[in-house]
A and B are shown apart, each in its own frame.
Chain A
Amino acid sequence: MQQRKRTFIYPLFERFWHWSQAALIIILGLSGFEVHGSYRLFGFGNAVRIHNTAAALLLILVAFTIFWHFVTGQWKQYVPTTKNLGAVIRYYAIGIFKHEPHPVRRTRYAKLNPLQKLVYLGFKLLIFPVLATTGLLYMFANTFDVPIGPVAFLHALGAFVLLSFFIVHLYMVLTTGRTPLAHLKPMITGWEELEEESTALSAAPESSAD
């Protein structure tokens, strides 16, 4: 029989990082697609100013966050693994419809399932660096003497991929918990009710995290 235990899973900085990053990415998306020419919202000049300011704030935030990841060792959360990866994919493709239990239990030592590890690592090592690099090149195109056409192309491509990630992320967070807010609340309060079979297992991090 499974029990639920209230566990402190997201420390304050991680929650601050998540929500400020979320806000900045939403602002960047809204202003960025206006700069791309998709619609008119803030007015082009304002959109550029908003986008550049939000981008600078995001870079500062990311600098602190990288520091936090290494100082706290939280970077290990993102080390990819193939263990249970197939099972998780199978779960979201088939099992979830049959009301099977999730194949991987979440603990404070393994906050991410193997699929999440892969996707978030991809975000951190591919999408974000591409957006940041092309964004800086875009911003300082004259200084670096690069043509903005191709730079804008890559930047917008990254933005479309990130937008897709954002949609799936929202869907997963809001619909796969026991209640719609079950996955949202912990990112606000830091506390989550985690299912566990025995306290002994959850106290042994290596067993499920890596």
Chain B
Amino acid sequence: MRTRKALSILVIGVGSLLLGVGLLLSAAPAEAAAPLAAVAQGVAQGSTADHSKFEILKGPFATGPEVTAACLTCHTEAARQIMKTTHWTWEQKVQDQQLGKNNVVNNFCIAVSSNEPRCTSCHIGYGYKDRSFDFTQETNVDCLVCHDTTNTYKKFPAGAGHPTYEPREFPAGSGKIWNPPDLAFVAQNVGKTSRATCGSCHFSGGGGDAVKHGDLDSSLINPSRELDVHMGVDGLNFTCATCHTAVEHHIAGGRYVMQAKDVHGIDVPGKDDLSRASCESCHGLAPHQARQLNDHVARVACETCHIPAFARGDQATKMWWDWSAAGKLNAEGKPFKVKNAEGYDIYDSQKGEFIWERNVVPEYVWFNGEFDYTVVGTKIDPTQPVIINALKGSAADPKARIWPVKAFRARQPYDPKTNLLIIPNLFPNSPEDKEAYWRSFDWIAAAQTGMASVNLPFSGEIAFVESVMYWPQTHMVAPKEMALDCEACHSTNGRLAALTDFYMPGRLQHEGLTTFGTALVGVVLLGVLGHGTLRLLLRKGAKKS
């Protein structure tokens, strides 16, 4: 009897123990994976219209605007929605600064003005070839560049936003022929945006694949989970729009004002699903199991630990651009390029010298979401590197968190008489444009046209100044097993060594205290040693006598 009772207690005990362990092991991953997978699938499916069945999309279409006119017969408000967004206006007022691509300066190809036909190959419209562009013409909106699903529609690089309508060579003399897309085929196959459509511009910022951002390049079209834990085709398979949600074509997330610290947390669909373009929108404000890790959330951006390096994909990113080295011509008097072993340009007569890097450890800065921009016409101090977009924030600013950035450095032209950054006319806008630097290799001529286009003075003198631009890193989030370990920062010469305005455990600070403490312990040790030695000596003395 007693044996049976003991046995049943044993069985129940071991059984519940096994059950508990089993639940612990199985519950967590299953819970985490299911809802996210459902979201990813929903994005890829769910249309109720087959655009190939619409008569108006049968074509033929001679130009992009003709397609847009057809789209607008059903999507009556789409163009007007687009026209309110920065994708269209290239204007954004932030506090007192007028920003947007029309107004900002960078240290890649510097500025849009006087280079429109080249730059506006990434405008969401057709025909922005100069300031006379009609921003109110609805058929100027390019629907296809975002909604193409065939991967056959491409804006021509020098077409002011149009695709090419006849076979054309670009770059000139390269032998690379761009063929016109079949506009009717593209129009009948429109759908949701994809990594490829967003990437057609955003992966090529700065004039080429992977040049600008560091965390955005063509390897995200078909990424592995290891490269991007959210977008990985072998994982959650997110598109850009999974996080960059859109309301009336206004897309969440943006560079001119960033949400450096989301204190709202999870956005519940139907309740407050305003934007998912922050980690916290899905992961909440206490995303870790360990309290110690959650204690970081208030002051450290998720990206700091979860993006251990940028340019982790197939592409290297540009880290340095020296415009002052541009303009060398070969023996025949022609511009030339020098490539490195991997095939990246490291010298280009039109642009100067470059450095490319992969798997780059970011720099880290305090950032509260606001920038201080150097724009067209901002006076600079040429005695030190120009910070083109200073990230505001400090340890004392509760809205600021520590963010990882790609610091892109360059040497770019400025006018030493006026201390204005030069807005150069780089791209030859027409066969008659002889001043453009890429044809003339003459900075003075290029600066005269460029500065005149923005109504700024030019003294006729050119000098070069170093500049830096900061690109906060948010994409190519690594799987958690690749996140930084504590010591990456919590050590004396760790990743945050440059941020000295706060106390961080694990790096030797409180110098005075450490000196005092070490001295105290040293004095005590010496005292004990002295005391002991003296006793030893006197005992021997006593024994002898």
Check A157 for interface membership: any CB of B closer than 8 A. Answer: yes
Q: Closest CB-CB distance, B12 to chain A, in whole Å? A: 31
- B528 near A48 (CB under 8 angstroms)? no
Q: Closest CB-CB distance, A204 to chain B, in whole Å? A: 33
Residues of B within 8 A of A160 (CB): 513, 516-518, 520-521
Residues 141-174 of A contacting B (Cβ, < 8 Å): 141-142, 147-149, 152-153, 156-157, 159-161, 163-164, 167-168, 171
- A152 near B528 (CB under 8 angstroms)? no
0/1 string, B498-540, CB within 8 A of A gives 1: 0000110111111001101110110011001001101100110
- Stretch binding the partner chain, chosen from B224-232, B424-432, B487-495: B487-495
Given known pairs A44-B490, A167-B524, A167-B528, the reply for A142 and B506 (CB within 8 Å) is no
- A142 near B520 (CB under 8 angstroms)? no
- B534 near A97 (CB under 8 angstroms)? yes
Check B169 for interface membership: any CB of A closer than 8 A. Answer: no
Check B295 for interface membership: any CB of A closer than 8 A. Answer: yes
Residues of A within 8 A of B491 (CB): 37, 40, 44
0/1 string, A113-151, CB within 8 A of B gives 1: 000000000000000000000000000011000011100
| Interface SS of chain B | helix
Chain A residue nearest to B492 in the complex (CB) = A37
- A44 near B525 (CB under 8 angstroms)? no
A96 to B542, CA, bound (A): 12
Q: How many residues of B contact A (CB 8 A)?
A: 34
**Sample of 18 A–B contacts (CB below 8 Å):** A37-B507, A40-B487, A44-B486, A44-B505, A45-B487, A48-B505, A52-B292, A97-B534, A98-B538, A152-B503, A152-B510, A153-B510, A156-B517, A160-B516, A163-B521, A164-B521, A167-B528, A171-B528
- B539 near A167 (CB under 8 angstroms)? no
A189 to B531, CA, bound (A): 29
Check B298 for interface membership: any CB of A closer than 8 A. Answer: yes
- A171 near B508 (CB under 8 angstroms)? no
A96 to B537, CA, bound (A): 12
Check A9 for interface membership: any CB of B closer than 8 A. Answer: no
- B531 near A171 (CB under 8 angstroms)? yes
Check A43 for interface membership: any CB of B closer than 8 A. Answer: yes
Q: Which of B295, B509, B517 makes the CB contact (< 8 A) with A157?
A: B517
Q: Closest CB-CB distance, A177 to chain B, in whole Å? A: 13
Given known pairs A44-B490, A48-B486, the reply for A149 and B528 (CB within 8 Å) is no
Check A207 for interface membership: any CB of B closer than 8 A. Answer: no
- A149 near B503 (CB under 8 angstroms)? yes
A35 to B531, CA, bound (A): 32
Q: Closest CB-CB distance, A22 to chain B, in whole Å? A: 18
Q: Closest CB-CB distance, B179 to chain A, in whole Å? A: 56
Check A175 for interface membership: any CB of B closer than 8 A. Answer: yes
Check A90 for interface membership: any CB of B closer than 8 A. Answer: no
A141 to B291, CA, bound (A): 11
Given A37-B505, A149-B502, A160-B516: 18 more A-B contacts, CB < 8 Å: A35-B506, A36-B508, A37-B506, A37-B507, A44-B490, A48-B292, A48-B486, A48-B505, A52-B292, A96-B535, A99-B542, A152-B503, A157-B516, A157-B517, A161-B520, A163-B517, A163-B521, A171-B528
* Smallest CB-CB A-B distances: 6 pairs: A160-B517, A149-B503, A37-B508, A45-B486, A44-B490, A164-B524
A45 to B535, CA, bound (A): 44
Check B273 for interface membership: any CB of A closer than 8 A. Answer: no
Q: Closest CB-CB distance, A30 to chain B, in whole Å? A: 14
Check B461 for interface membership: any CB of A closer than 8 A. Answer: no
0/1 string, A19-41, CB within 8 A of B gives 1: 00000000000000011111010
- B524 near A168 (CB under 8 angstroms)? yes
Check B134 for interface membership: any CB of A closer than 8 A. Answer: no
Residues 45-99 of A contacting B (Cβ, < 8 Å): 45, 47-48, 52, 96-99
Residues of A within 8 A of B397 (CB): none
Q: Closest CB-CB distance, B422 to chain A, in whole Å? A: 45
A76 to B291, CA, bound (A): 41
Chain A residue nearest to B512 in the complex (CB) = A153
- A148 near B524 (CB under 8 angstroms)? no
Given known pairs A37-B506, A152-B510, A175-B532, the reply for A167 and B525 (CB within 8 Å) is yes
Q: Which of A43, A52, A152, A164 makes the CB contact (< 8 A) with B487?
A: A43
Check B381 for interface membership: any CB of A closer than 8 A. Answer: no
- A152 near B505 (CB under 8 angstroms)? yes
Check B485 for interface membership: any CB of A closer than 8 A. Answer: yes
Residues of A within 8 A of B502 (CB): 149
A149 to B396, CA, bound (A): 13
Residues of B within 8 A of A35 (CB): 505-506
Q: Closest CB-CB distance, A109 to chain B, in whole Å? A: 29
Residues of B within 8 A of A152 (CB): 503, 505, 510
Chain B residue nearest to A51 in the complex (CB) = B505
A96 to B539, CA, bound (A): 10
Residues of A within 8 A of B513 (CB): 153, 156-157, 160
Q: Which of B295, B487, B508, B531 makes the CB contact (< 8 A) with A142?
A: B295
Residues of A within 8 A of B486 (CB): 43-45, 48
- B507 near A167 (CB under 8 angstroms)? no
Q: Which of A44, A52, A99, A149 makes the CB contact (< 8 A) with B506?
A: A44
A96 to B491, CA, bound (A): 46
Max chain A C-beta neighbours (<10 A), residue from B505, B524, B525: B505
A80 to B534, CA, bound (A): 30
Chain A residue nearest to B297 in the complex (CB) = A142
Residues of B within 8 A of A153 (CB): 510, 513
- A37 near B509 (CB under 8 angstroms)? yes
Chain A residue nearest to B487 in the complex (CB) = A44
Chain B residue nearest to A141 in the complex (CB) = B295
A164 to B520, CA, bound (A): 7
- B535 near A97 (CB under 8 angstroms)? yes
Q: Closest CB-CB distance, A39 to chain B, in whole Å? A: 9
Residues of A within 8 A of B505 (CB): 35-37, 44, 48, 148, 152
Residues of B within 8 A of A98 (CB): 538
A161 to B519, CA, bound (A): 11
Q: Closest CB-CB distance, A178 to chain B, in whole Å? A: 13
A97 to B541, CA, bound (A): 11
Max chain B C-beta neighbours (<10 A), residue from A44, A167, A175: A44
Q: Closest CB-CB distance, B543 to chain A, in whole Å? A: 10
Q: Closest CB-CB distance, B537 to chain A, in whole Å? A: 9
A164 to B518, CA, bound (A): 10
Chain A residue nearest to B508 in the complex (CB) = A37
A5 to B531, CA, bound (A): 29
Q: Closest CB-CB distance, B528 to chain A, in whole Å? A: 4
- B487 near A168 (CB under 8 angstroms)? no
Residues of B within 8 A of A168 (CB): 524, 528
A149 to B505, CA, bound (A): 9
A159 to B514, CA, bound (A): 11
